[in-house]
Amino acid sequence: MRAEQKSRSSVRLTESLENSLTRYVLAGLGTVVLVPAVNAQVIYTQANVTFDVGAVKMDFDHDGTPDLALNNHTSRYNGIYYNILGIVGKGKPGAGVIAKVSYAQALAYGASIGPNLSFTALSHRKDVPLEAFTCFYENCANYRGNWLNVRDRFLGVQIQLNGQLHYGWVRLTVQRIRKLPFFIDVTLKDYAYESTPNKAITAGDRGPDLTSEIQQEKRESISAARPPVDASLGLLSAGADAIPLWRGQR
């Protein structure tokens, strides 16, 4: 147990390597090239890229060749718009995503992603959709999938590196917008994979030094969603002994 904990300690890249990596998205078809945080076993990449059309590629192991891509399509025919957000492979064998009834699942933080699960194969020729819907101008209906208007949900993915399968996650926020001809904004927040082949990873795991950050983000999100508490109501609930204090607040 101690040896395993030691092997997962945080390792930062050198300053020269950090300076050599940049992020860019070109003409709606981009590659996310970002500084990874290496935790010996979990390889984590922060992205924070928002797009409403086109594609963004993801290079999990930073070898210069993208592994997966997100495609946000909108097409139009006689005032009818069709929107599909999908994930594709980039030609590497073994790529896959956790899906149910043909649509990629939106996993919660902490969900297990590993060899005991079923993955739908990804190729560069066909998307596995996250969501799809039809609109007549701005009147939209026929929603399918689980990703419309969701915040901080995870794709469970597998990729093949050096002939071996690795498991990872992609964190997204998807929000509907009203800006013809675009219908949703997609934010690719970050992604990571387990560098040990055939070993499971949990959604949101960034390694021991970084996972606490996403846990704090989750706590702050829950706290922000709670309604404010009226202190006077709390005093009244305390009974007769609190009445003088309550009167002092009025």
- Whose CA is closest to 155, among 50, 70, 72? 70
Model confidence pLDDT, tens digit, residues 3-53: 333 333 333 333 333 333 333 333 334 444 455 555 558 999 999 999 988
Domain boundaries of the chain, sorted by first residue: 2-209
pTM given for the model = 0.71
Question: Do the Cβ atoms of 194 and 168 come closer than 8 Å?
Answer: yes
Model confidence pLDDT, tens digit, residues 195-235: 999 999 999 999 876 555 555 565 555 555 455 444 444 43
